[in-house]
A and B are shown apart, each in its own frame.
Chain A
Amino acid sequence: MPPPPCALCTTNRAAIVRPKDHSKLCKSCFITVFETEIHHTITSNNLFHRGERIAIGASGGKDSTVLASVLKTLNERYDYGVELTLLSIDEGIKGYRDDSLETVKRNATQYSMPLTILGYAELYGWTMDQVVSQVGKKGNCTYCGVFRRQALDRGAARLGIQHVVTGHNADDVAETVLMNLLRADLPRLSRTTSIITSTPSTSDTTNIQRSKPLKYAYEKEIVLYAHHKGLDYFSTECIYSPEAFRGSARALIKNLERVRPSAILDIVRSGEDMAALCGPAPAHAADDGGGGCGRTESSDIGGAVAPGLEVEITSATVQKRGKKGGVAYVAPRQGKGQVMGKCEVCGYLSSQRVCKACVLLEGLRKGRARRGVEIEGGEGG
């Protein structure tokens, strides 16, 4: 029996069973449909505006590579009039990030986009390899997550860019919805599903937006798209693997997808609806820690469930900003009246006197000093 014709064009032979709804499509229709859906996500949520400069958080992994490729295609096809640039964070993980950064460098050439690489070493004086040698593999994802979210903001600010897009896909969002239910984190539940979030800023720093154009794209379809477009991406897992518990949520999502393909989108939908039942998003602190890398399969940039900083952008908050003359962002308050201020050490946004990154750095420095003493003592004895 010959293969059935493509369900869309009805002329070509179907070559792909779409993971999202099991429809049988030919290669070119699949690519068109995949791109069109992302275009639809971008336009229906008004993610971009003409003349905007946008930094793509690029790790060299499949998600951010597909994101860069699709955004370039769509920007040309639909004339968004946006200026795209690649922004990579070098966490300093030998055997992982150094290799993936080579991929990003090739992508920069392939897509003719400028590339900026910013390292933890330069920003914080610590590479992740050094952090891990100090704190061990357990819990190191917290450091990486906290550092990365600041790093992306600082990178964007350095480029004078106010909008960073990340490669979070539907599987990531669904997984995060389940994880936040499992760990009873309501404030984060209300943030993770919003497609566009913002780091509120104090008046003298720029207000940087984050968005997830791949929010409704299935991981399996991203892999298929990358494969059929012959994209050049890096597919090794981070060598400092994340929490086991997240792995169980990931496995659950995969099982759900097998039983009912729409389940991933259905969880995203549930998450969006539940966010509406969480009350106004609290300014819940730059300092609630945790987060971590958030990925089992790829440690994409921005893969971290950002610890706390993000605030959902809704029409209400935008209005509020408007009333203030667009100058300062008024962070929504928590019950206790938590107010966003500046870190006394680095000046980054923080709800506490000192921001989380600086607290972690201080801990690392103390640890190093203590260890130094021990070693000295050992040598002396």
Chain B
Amino acid sequence: MPGKHLDEDQLCARCGDNVSVLTVRSEPLCRDCFLRYVHTKVIKRMESFRVRNAASDRPRKVLVPVSFGVSSVSLLHILDHHLKTQLAKTGRTGFDIVVAFVDSSAIETSPDPELRASLRDRYINHECQLLPLASIFDTDAGSTILGEYIPNMDSVEPSNPEEKLAALINSLDSATARADVQSTLRTRLLVQHAKSMDCEAILWGDSTTRLAEKTLSETAKGRGFSLPWVTGDGDSPLGITYHFPMRDLLKKELVSYAAMTDPPLTELIHSRVVTQSSTSSKNTTIDELMAQYFDSVEENFPSIVSNVVRTAGKLSTPSISGSPCGLCGNLAQPGRFGIEGWGGTQQKDSSTSNTSNLCYGCTRSLPKS
């Protein structure tokens, strides 16, 4: 497995010349071959963005959201390298990158601003923008969310979006709900931004491992219906195309990759501290539980990780007949099964009055009032 050091005399299985530095999917690889392996896995997913597909007069633009996790930083690095190669070979590029960071410091500890500065310095050729999470309320989607679903918003000073955001998040009754709504808002903000920047697609940094986590956690949050959209390449109901170019790489491979580039990417990565002991705590979120689960699965049964992603990939995209959920924007079919079994009442869920155009998953996160 990556990171594990091997006997010094074992040669790389690909080039046969150099000494291997790690084992990837049972092949010992040297540093160069490993870096090439990672790049190939990503570039293969970028076929549609080749130079020959680009019109010469108007560059194609894509949004690359960077969270300062290992996957998104690695993606940016690989794409940057790829564009330089395209430029060197053909004199032009197949696409342009717009980098976006979401600043959620109003409600949680965020990566150090210095990280942003160093990342900007290092990838100086790309347009970078910092989006405060609270600016979601300047968009139509955001103001609808505020007006319809958040109780007692009138009492908050309307001119301060940060306070609105904090009030919204604090009104939610569990860590899972807070994390869920926060990530939904982040997604919607990024989509909004991508559209306003004339980007045709968003390239998400999710690794195989992250997509597997997302598959199970969206399932556990009652949003199984949305999996084809949120884990698959293609058109999202939010009106933009998603790509997941890192989908064939495991997280542990990216951790090794980030340490091997020259200079290493590790200094650009914000490591979130997840303590194992929090499994039993009520403040653990479903996303954290899944991340912990896949940490151990990735270690012991790596094939299971890709199984999950493959299964989600085989689901067909739901028909576009539903109406968009007011919060997450996915097209939700009206309640058919499970919710009827909820709560022990013969009536429909009593909270449906003010949450009627929410999907099943979002009704779980928003406060019942």
Contacts and interface: CB of A to CB of B under 8 A. Distances in A.
Given A184-B308, A274-B224, A277-B315, 8 more contacts: A20-B343, A21-B344, A189-B311, A259-B174, A266-B220, A270-B222, A273-B333, A276-B333
Contacts of A36: 344, 346
Contacts of B219: 177-178, 181, 267, 270-271, 274
Query: SS class of chain A's interface: helix, strand, loop or mixed?
Result: helix
Contacts of A277: 225, 227-228, 315-318
B69 to A, nearest CB: 22
Interface stretch (A37-45, A46-54, A151-159, A299-307): A37-45
B339 interface: yes
Nearest to B340: A44
B253 to A, nearest CB: 20
A186 B285 CA distance: 27
Given A266-B364, A269-B360, A259 B285 contact: yes
B311 A181 contact: yes
B338 A265 contact: yes
Nearest to B343: A21
Given A267-B219, A271-B224, A252 B342 contact: no
Nearest to A263: B220
Given A182-B304, A259-B176, A259-B286, A37 B341 contact: yes
A223 to B, nearest CB: 17
A181 B312 contact: yes
B250 to A, nearest CB: 16
Nearest to A182: B304
Interface string A14-57: 00001011000000000001101100110010000000000000
Q: Lowest 4 A-B CB distances belong to which pairs?
A: A270-B224, A269-B338, A216-B341, A266-B222
Interface of B: 174-176, 215-216, 218-225, 227-228, 279-280, 282, 284-286, 289, 293, 297, 301, 304, 307-308, 310-312, 314-318, 333, 336-344, 346, 360-361, 364
Nearest to B359: A273
B342 A279 contact: no
Contacts of A270: 218-225
Interface in A258-311: 258-260, 262-263, 265-274, 276-279
Contacts of B364: 260, 262, 266
A180 interface: yes
A20 B345 CA distance: 12
A336 interface: no
Contacts of B284: 255, 259
A40 B341 contact: yes
A77 interface: no
Given A181-B215, A262-B364, A273 B225 contact: yes
